[in-house]
Amino acid sequence: MRDPNLNRILANRYQLQQVLGAGAMGQVYLAHDKLLGGVPVAVKLLSISIHNKKLRVQERFEQEAKTCAILGQKSIHIVRVMDYGVVEENGTPFYVMEYLKGKNLSDVIRNYALSLPRFLSIGRQISLGLECAHQGIPVDGKTYPIIHRDIKPSNVLLIQDNSLGELAKLLDFGIAKLLQADSSQTRYYMGTFAYSSPEQMEGSELTNRSDIYSLGVMLFEMLTGNIPIQANTDSFGGWFKAHHYQPPRSFETSEPKFPIPPQLKDLVMSCLAKAPSDRPQNVSEIIKVFTLLEQPRDRSLPLTTQPITPQTPSSGNEPANTIVAPQKGQLTTDAICRLTRWPQNKPIADIVFPQSIQINDEESPALWVMLSQIEVNKRLVNRTYNHFLFITSPSPMMLWITALHHRAYGTKWLTYYLDLKNSQNRDLIQSIGIKGYYRVLLFARETPQYASSCLLIHVASSQGILLQQWYLLSQSSNIHGDVQLSKSLLKQEYEKIKPQILMKLEASV
């Protein structure tokens, strides 16, 4: 039977196109936002009606939708809610989410074998989303913790982010509570039997430790392919008994997909404790274990404070950004970069500037950076992020943003404004766009003659395409307006996106 909701237009704006998924709480549709020219969004129609119900139910729905929107702004591991409303014909509430292409975690568990590093990454990211919600949101001067109430693999979406790789996002925050909002449904159960905590099955008021129990069930399933508890009958009564009285099966009898570290076994089993007081008290404790297990056994790296001495002296007549190797191809690219000399026309000071380097007759885009030796040492092992902002008017200009992030040392921001009326700057951004990478050469003030370190920074393919488009736009532009105003406008945009970049970097460490 054809779905009657297909092609329906909600709020004179969202046209439903196809079903993306369905569950106990409703159906999710791919829709086109007609107001924004057909931009794809995801719309969830909830499985309740609020016609002829008390006004407070609709008010509660609006509050829950706003809660989801706020959480999506606070964490990249929570799907962002952008709008909400009620279908006029039948009183069905709906909310509009960002549309993301990815895999459902339940499908990944069923069809793919997770490795330990991938498990730890996904588990940590899910926990970061939960931690954000449990820390709460401000309402009328008070902070209210948000409990998910339906943590399970089908409520986790895995997407590919151009900068961060695989990114886990949680769905449906606050919705289970919304569906229990009617006072006539006091103690009415809403959730998923296999993942519900004992206290949730009782209809008790829930705390963050209920989500931790559900997380434990999901983590066990990710590790073994099976849930840790199995009811005799797939009924409320059967699952009530199982969660209250059945001990979780051991990892040894569940055929895990890889050897599980003892700390991880202990963590998952503690999450599955029947009594909330016996579980981890907050998600932060879980994140600490994931973070510890993700660290390599030995992360200590020797910090070189002396520059590499060239094996073959140059004639002294070559320009500062040319490297002379004894034989072409004899030195590695990294070694060649570290033999790069600091330009004589640049001060010995903390500065950033772009300048291509020539490696065996090939131009390679690079960002030159001078810092203190201590700061250079801090940046040898970092998470990197890059972004580019462009403006055509009042004068064509690009802001080149590079961030080097370390959890212990914080973020070092490297920014440079490129005036794209300059042909050399245009050639540089075209080169980055075509090659899909650039290098960051780190020089220490104390030993400035040669580069102390060289970082290879990859550029997302979508950004590379934009750089080539900006090259063409600026090349054909006849606009010659206020350069300082262009810089000011770009800086304003930079300050807006900076918190989002930081959030991504913190989530990926």
Active-site residue list: 150
Calpha distance 311→296 (Å, rounded): 34
Residue 200: how many other CB atoms lie within 10 Å: 24
Residue 267: how many other CB atoms lie within 10 Å: 21
Burial of residue 106, with CB atoms counted within 10 A of its CB: 0-12 exposed, 13-18 middle, 19 or more buried? middle
Calpha distance 401→435 (Å, rounded): 17
| Cα separation values, 299 from 258, 302, 311, 373, 379, Å | 23, 10, 30, 20, 14
Residue 231: how many other CB atoms lie within 10 Å: 18
DSSP string, 195-236: G--HHHHTTPPP-HHHHHHHHHHHHHHHHHSS-S---SSSSH
Q: Are 137 and 143 in contact (CB under 8 A)?
A: yes
Bridge partner list, 287: none
Q: Is 44 annotated as a binding residue?
A: yes
Q: Are 381 and 509 in contact (CB under 8 A)?
A: no
Calpha distance 409→202 (Å, rounded): 46
Reduced to 3 states (helix: H, G, I; strand: E, B; else coil), residue 460 is: coil
Q: What are phi and psi of 84, to 5 degrees?
A: -155, 165
Calpha distance 243→194 (Å, rounded): 8
Calpha distance 508→167 (Å, rounded): 9
Bridge partner list, 405: 383, 411
In sequence order, the 6+-apart residues with CB closer than 8 A to the CB of 221 are: 109, 153, 227, 228
Q: Are 427 and 468 in contact (CB under 8 A)?
A: no
Q: Which residues are annotated as a binding site for ATP?
A: 44
